[in-house]
């Protein structure tokens, strides 16, 4: 089975532009960005409650602490949230207007929490509508890891950020492309 496609910045912009003005565009945008900019798994995104992302004072957390029940491997982990993603989260939380810490961050049109499977299908549909061949719900994580690897981040840090217990797993996520090879050979001379 082929691995999920890693997206170029241009492809990610195309997907995000396709969400503009759609019925659940703001929700779907943030779901997508949680996978691309924080490297979160679909099941982790589905399991988020407002209390996981918002501090008691209403500000957005810079670290999302996932408990074992929220993760794939049943090992608690911390997801680090960059400034751009914090702004996206703050904007979305303001738009939904709920401060209930137990409310799911992302709800289906039936107002229920997403299951990992339903969210997976939602992401796959978003990519398909944007015409991105080979993209799946796992593309955000692969793009996250590959982007950081291309910027020189070491595999141990990448493994920790991705929540992998083995660096071999992380290495399989890295998609080597021509840009990375060109940059590498420029370092020789």
Angle formed by the axes of helices 116-129 and 25-38, to 10°? 100
pLDDT score, position 177: 79
Helix or strand or coil: residue 91? helix
pLDDT score, position 179: 80
60-89 burial, b at 16+ Cβ within 10 Å, e below that, comes to: bbeebebeeebbeeeeebebebeeebbebb
Instruction: Please tell me the class of the 9-137 domain.
Output: mainly alpha
Q: What is the pLDDT of residues 75-96, one digit of tens each?
A: 899 999 999 999 999 999 999 9
How far apart are the C-alpha atoms of 66 and 78, rounded to whole Å? Answer: 6
Greater confidence (72 vs 129) lies with: 129
Q: Which two tokens stand for residue 165?
A: 């217990």
Closest CA to 5 of 125, 118, 135, 150: 135
- Least confidently predicted of 63-67, 80-84, 146-150: 146-150
Cα angle: 152, vertex 13, 119; to 5 degrees: 90
How far apart are the C-alpha atoms of 32 and 47, rounded to whole Å? Answer: 15
How far apart are the C-alpha atoms of 145 and 105, rounded to whole Å? Answer: 24
Is the pLDDT score of 1 beyond 70? no
**DSSP code of residue 77:** E
Is the pLDDT score of 123 beyond 90? yes
Mean pLDDT: which of 14-18, 67-71, 144-148, 176-180 is highest?
A: 14-18
Q: What is the mean pLDDT of the chain?
A: 92
């Amino acid at each position: 089975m082929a691995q999920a496609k890693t997206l170029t910045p241009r492809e990610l912009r195309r997907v995000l532009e396709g969400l503009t003005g759609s019925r659940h565009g703001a929700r779907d945008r943030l779901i997508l960005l949680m996978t691309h900019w924080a490297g979160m798994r679909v099941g982790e995104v589905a399991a988020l409650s407002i209390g996981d992302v918002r501090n008691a004072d209403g500000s957005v957390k810079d670290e999302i602490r996932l408990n074992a029940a929220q993760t794939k491997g049943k090992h608690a982990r911390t997801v680090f949230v960059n400034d751009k993603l914090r702004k996206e989260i703050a904007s979305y939380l303001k738009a939904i207007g709920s401060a209930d810490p137990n409310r799911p961050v992302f709800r289906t049109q039936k107002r229920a929490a997403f299951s990992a499977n339903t969210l997976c299908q939602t992401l796959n549909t978003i990519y398909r509508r944007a015409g991105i061949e080979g993209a799946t719900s796992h593309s955000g994580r692969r793009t996250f890891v590959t982007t950081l690897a291309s910027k020189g981040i070491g595999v141990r840090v990448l493994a920790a950020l991705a929540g992998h217990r083995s660096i071999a797993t992380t290495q399989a996520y890295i998609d080597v492309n021509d840009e990375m090879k060109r940059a590498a050979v420029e370092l020789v001379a």
